[in-house]
Amino acid sequence: MSYDEAFAVRYEEWSAHMTEDIGFYVELAVESDGPIVELAVGNGRVAIPVAEATGRTVIGFDTSSAMLAQAHENAAAAGVTLDLRETDMRDLSLAEPAGLIYCPFRSLLHLPSWSDRRRTFERVGASLRPGGRLAWNAFAFDHVIATELDGRHDEDPVPHTLHYDVVDNRIDIVLDEGETSSLWWATKNEWLGLLDVSGLELEALYGTFDKQPLDETSREYIFVARLGG
């Protein structure tokens, strides 16, 4: 994974603006049967509302001990229970197949290679019950936006600079104190290919979290896939 552990100190500030995805993932969780799993659970930003809405324990995986500590503290403050596991999503393993596995906030983009993503999707396919769902979102790369933002310093949501490496399909988010988080973007067809190799079927592909269809103006992929059977 590409996450700088020191980035966790500023994560709550970094992610505070992101709220529009919560209702989308909560709705999927309410509809699901069986265990609910969040990959890259972070500080519990989505998992806690999911646990509140469903009355169930959300299983959360993350490689960052600092983020898991925040999630534990935030869940306790909210009065919900999260089953938090310091485990790489590429090594996903469950005692009972899940009804929903989701990965919000573009976190699958922290996996740097096709083989990393394929391994993760295969583990997801092996960890879902028949009819279980996988949901995630990722940005659609836009060269105009990349040109505008590359090397630019911004103060919001915390002081940082973005660096684009087009050859490596990578964005480095570098905070002013030096903490770095990297994302590797992928095309729509690459994501669809991952579904093919993992035995999952596309159920829906949206361009917004209020379920507007993906079109030529969309800059976000919001996928819902299902395991057949």
- Return the pLDDT at 42: 96
Give mean pLDDT, residues 3-14: 85
Residues in the chain: 229
pLDDT-derived band of residue 89, with 50, 70 and 90 as boundaries? Answer: very high
* Adjacent-strand bridge partners of 82: 58
Closest CA to 221 of 46, 59, 39, 24: 24
Give mean pLDDT, residues 32-49: 97
pLDDT-derived band of residue 2, with 50, 70 and 90 as boundaries? Answer: low
Q: What is d(CA 125, CA 123) in angstroms, rounded to the nearest whole number?
A: 5
- Return the pLDDT at 106: 97
Give mean pLDDT, residues 196-217: 97
pLDDT in tens, 146-196: 999 999 999 999 999 999 999 999 999 999 999 999 999 999 999 999 999
SS3 content of the chain, % helix, strand, coil (to 5): 35, 30, 35
Whether this prediction's pTM lies above 0.85 is answered by yes
Give mean pLDDT, residues 18-36: 97
Peptide bond into 130 cis (omega under 30): no
pLDDT-derived band of residue 3, with 50, 70 and 90 as boundaries? Answer: low
- Report the percent of the chain where pLDDT is more than 90: 95
Give mean pLDDT, residues 88-114: 97
Average pLDDT of the chain is 96
pLDDT at 1 over 70: no
Higher pLDDT, 3 or 97: 97
DSSP state of 104: -
pLDDT in tens, 198-207: 999 999 999 9
Measured CA distances, 77 to 7, 48, 72, 81, 154 (Å): 22, 10, 9, 10, 32
- Cα angle 169, 214, 118 (rounded to 5 degrees) comes to 45
